[in-house]
Amino acid sequence: MPLHALFVFLLVVAIKESIWWLVTLMLFAVLKSWSFSIGRLFFLLILSFLFIGMGHLSPEPHDVSSVDILSGKRNGDRIRYEAESNNQPVLLTAMVAEDETGYERIGHSCRVKTESLDIRQQSNAGGFDEQQFMHTHRYGGKWEVRSFESCHPTPGYAAEGRRVREAWLTRVEGLLSQKQAFYVEALVFGEDRLMDQVTLERFKKFGLLHAIVISGSHIAFLIFSLLYVLRKIRMTKEKRLDAVLILLPIYGWLTEWSPPVTRAVLVAMILLLGRRFHKPLDPVEVIARVAAFQLAIQPTVIYDIGFQLTVGLTLFLVLSRRLMGSVRRPWNWLLISAWAQFGTLLFLQGIEQTTVSIWSPLLNLLIGGWIEWVILPGSFILAMIPFLPISSTFQTVHQHAIQWMDQALRLAEHLPLAVVAVPALSPIILTCIVAGTGLAWFIAERRWWGHVIPLTLLLSAWGYTEWRAPEQITFLDVGQGDSVVLEKAGETFVVDTGGVYQQTTHPLLRPFDPGSHIVAPFLFTRGEAEIDGLVVTHADHDHVGGLLGLLRQVRVKTVYLGAYDNTDDKRRTLIHSIEATGTNVQFIKSGDMIRPWLQVLAPTGREEEENDRSVVLLAKIAEQRVLLTGDAGVALEDELRVGPIDILKAGHHGSNTSTGEELLRKSNPKTVILSVGRKNRYGHPHPDVLERIGTERIVFRTDQDGSITCSSAGCEPMIK
């Protein structure tokens, strides 16, 4: 097999980015390649010059006062712009005025007054890594726009394309329902600004996100449609190919030349040129060369999930020709699916997305096929609605097709093992699995049992990771709120789910929800798609705001609520929402034992203040005694019968109404955890509380340290 430039550049970029499991895989691919031609060597040299000249470029910090607005994504009253300043990509966030959509500035140059924003490190395992995100897209920084001083149309074809595209999208959104407009924009223009949170979660859950972005299959559909129409008007074959070759770059221009569009259009044009000049080309070879070209000019594209899946499939097809050639149909297709699923799981492990669904292959066939053959053609036709009259009957059929798909995905969520969480494997274990998989590949080319080795390796690593999982308690960084994860004796409990108050006059398409965005991803990295219990200390939003988001993602056996918490509409609505998911609800009070190691100290029923009705827990876990007091005030703390403890979570996020002198005296904690939000409006933690805690105790703060994990060896912050 010849040596591919893609193998070499994946190896180089993996070393540059310290992705060691990929280094192992690419070493295997390079070693398996046995020869190369002069043409391949020349292509490799060209890419090397590009890589040296462009691949090392990194953003330089600078002040932002003049920007070219490239694109935007609105959510409620705020919009996030991707822009250029001094020929460098930057991120801007801004408030949207009542009389604006926020998209009017796309394709315009603006003078702005800005304030630089901090780029946060990853603060929770499985959570959003803003530093990696900025590195991946090579953004020079993030700024808050305080005011737009002036704007004018940016000159040039690229900016004109953005303005034309925006006018087109605005017309589509005005003439179609939001759901229809989303699929038209996503499948035709590669724009996902109308994607809502539920749709995103469902497609991500079943590995279907690739089906609603522009890919090679979408470009193929466009090409075949154009060729069909041109043939009907009796154009010759050569002229048809020439016309498509002219129209494809225009399509790329309208879709902003995003990485997947660039890749698909380049591949299509190269293949069409080969056909035009009667020199058929190998599609896999072309895809590999285009991917190597993208890596050479932008190495961080390696983090793009679409690029990963496309390249992964390409690598598999390149490497497996001998492997699959010796297996009869249809068994070779089953093997291709099995190996592809395994490779996808390894890619997802690399970005801490550790959930899979056993139904993904089937749903990719059914739902993916429905999108490709029904929704996609309809979306291309509806994209012309600003220019051509489209019958209401056709629009209704397209809408029903989307509704049927949504209903199918809703039903799929209730299938057994709809989501399986594989614990995040350590880099060493992941590298060993990849190395073992390479060895299995050699064996599988000669012996059938080689196909079983990768699955055996994964199951063994899974079992080993679960066996070695220590007892621990993790205080998650959910901002100005509480969420604690307890792991002991093979069981997992969550105490509170955080919550974010988002005031907006426009509905939020993608509201930030700590339950689904922070707590659930953390549980997935621990291999938990189902937990044994969720304790709600009380019904305040900063403790319960993420509960329903968590229940959408994770199965919970029982939700525990305080027996004497307030009985107003807020609590009744909460209970009704929980029961609507089919989750069991149990009420607890002082003296109850949820587990032998998890004791309820309050409420007693005598508390008058709402915060004093918080559930107070004493956990004995990882050789540590841990006291969790919710938002209970000093009056209740003074009544608690508690001896010396090891870890205290400061009450009410460090408010001076909690964590009193008496509690600190009788419990004498060695470590105090403060769960607070960065720059919160309450001024937590209060200076009086910090003074009472003193300097002789170890203090961790989630706003500074990220999540804090405590085991028998002590407490370890996420941000060091």
Q: What is the 3-state secondary structure (H, E, C) of 327-380?
A: CCCCHHHHHHHHHHHHHHHHHHHHCCCCEECCCHHHHHHHHHHHHHHHHHHHHH
How confident is the model at residue 323, as a pLDDT?
A: 60
Q: Give the pLDDT confidence of 669-690 residue by residue, as tens digits.
A: 999 999 999 988 889 999 999 9
In a 10 Å sphere around its CB, with 0-12 CB exposed, 13-18 middle and 19+ buried, how is residue 492 labelled?
buried
The answer to whether residue 249 sits within a structural domain is: yes
Q: Is 215 helix (H, G, I), strand (E, B) or coil?
A: coil
Rounded to the nearest 5 percent, the helix, strand and coil shares of the chain are 50, 15, 35
- Structural domain boundaries enclosing 410: 156-281+370-414
pLDDT range class, residue 263, cuts 50, 70, 90 = confident
Average pLDDT, the chain: 87
Q: What is the pLDDT of residue 326?
A: 60
Residue 222 has pLDDT above 90, yes or no: no
Last residue of a domain, one of 154, 185, 209: 154
Model-wide pTM > 0.85: yes
pLDDT at 233 over 60: yes
- Per-residue model confidence (pLDDT) at position 334: 62
**Are residues 255 and 388 located together in one domain of the fold?**
yes
Look at the chain and report how many structural domains it folds into: 3
**Residue-wise pLDDT tens digits, 178-196:** 999 999 999 999 899 999 9
Residue 47 within any structural domain of the chain: no
Q: Are 581 and 681 contained in the same domain?
A: yes
193 and 266 fall within a common domain: yes
Residue 578 is encoded by which pair of tokens? 């929980």
Residue 105 within any structural domain of the chain: yes
- Give 389's DSSP letter: -
Task: Please name the residues in contact with 391: beta carbons below 8 A apart, sequence gap of 6 or more.
Answer: none
Q: Are 521 and 423 in contact (CB under 8 A)?
A: no
Mean pLDDT over 67-86 rounds to: 94
What per-residue confidence (pLDDT) applies to 35? 66
d(CA 307, CA 371): 20
Helices 216-232 and 259-276: angle between axes, nearest 10 degrees? 40
Query: pLDDT tens, 482-507?
Result: 999 999 988 999 999 998 877 777 88
Say whether the peptide bond before residue 330 is cis (omega within 30 degrees of 0).
yes
| 270 and 143 fall within a common domain | no
| Residue 602 belongs to some domain of the structure | yes
Closest alpha carbon to 370 in 341, 340, 404, 397: 404
Question: Residue 453 falls within a domain, yes or no?
Answer: no
Q: Assess whether 483 and 567 both reside in one domain.
A: yes
pLDDT at 34: 62
Residue 420: the pLDDT is: 86
Q: What is the DSSP string of 563-589?
A: TTS--SHHHHHHHHHHHHTT-EEEEE-
Instruction: Pick the closest to residue 594 from 673, 489, 520 (CA basis).
Output: 489
Residues 565, 571: Cα–Cα separation, whole Å: 8
Q: Identify whether residues 624 and 505 lie together within a single domain.
A: yes
Higher per-residue confidence, 326 vs 379: 379
Q: Are residues 218 and 106 part of one domain? A: no
Query: What CATH number has the domain bearing residue 131?
Result: 2.40.50
Query: Do 103 and 197 belong together in one domain?
Result: no
The stretch 349-370 carries a mean pLDDT of: 78
Lowest mean pLDDT among 432-446, 510-524, 538-552: 432-446
- Residue % of the chain over a pLDDT of 90: 48
Question: Does residue 401 sit within a domain?
Answer: yes
Q: Look at residue 227 and tell me if it is in a domain.
A: yes
| Better-scored residue on pLDDT, 369 or 2 | 369
Among 120, 154, 188, the domain boundary falls at 154
CATH number, domain of 637, equals 3.60.15.10
- DSSP classification of residue 537: -
Banded pLDDT at 590 (limits 50, 70, 90): very high
Instruction: Based on the fold, state whether residues 166 and 148 are members of the same structural domain.
Output: no
708 and 608 in a common domain:
yes
> Residue 233 phi/psi, 5° resolution?
-95, 15
Give the pLDDT of residue 187: 92
pLDDT tens per residue, range 634-663: 999 999 989 999 999 999 999 999 999 999
- Region 99-104: mean pLDDT is 91
Query: Which residue has better confidence, 633 or 38?
Result: 633
Q: Are residues 130 and 162 in the same domain?
A: no
More confidently predicted of 467 and 311: 467
110 vs 67: CA distance, rounded Å: 5
The reported pLDDT for the residue numbered 387 is: 92
Instruction: Say what the pLDDT of residue 392 is.
Output: 92
**Helix/strand number for the chain, H first, E second:** 28, 24
**Residue 181 and residue 194 in one domain:** yes
Which whole number is the average pLDDT over 241-249?
91
Q: What is the pLDDT of residue 160?
A: 94
Decide which of 519 and 256 is more confident: 519
Q: Residue 7 pLDDT more than 90?
A: no
Q: Is residue 191 part of a domain?
A: yes
Amino acid at 71: S
Instruction: Cite the beta strand spans of 574-668 per DSSP E.
Output: 584-588, 593-595, 598-602, 616-621, 624-628, 647-649
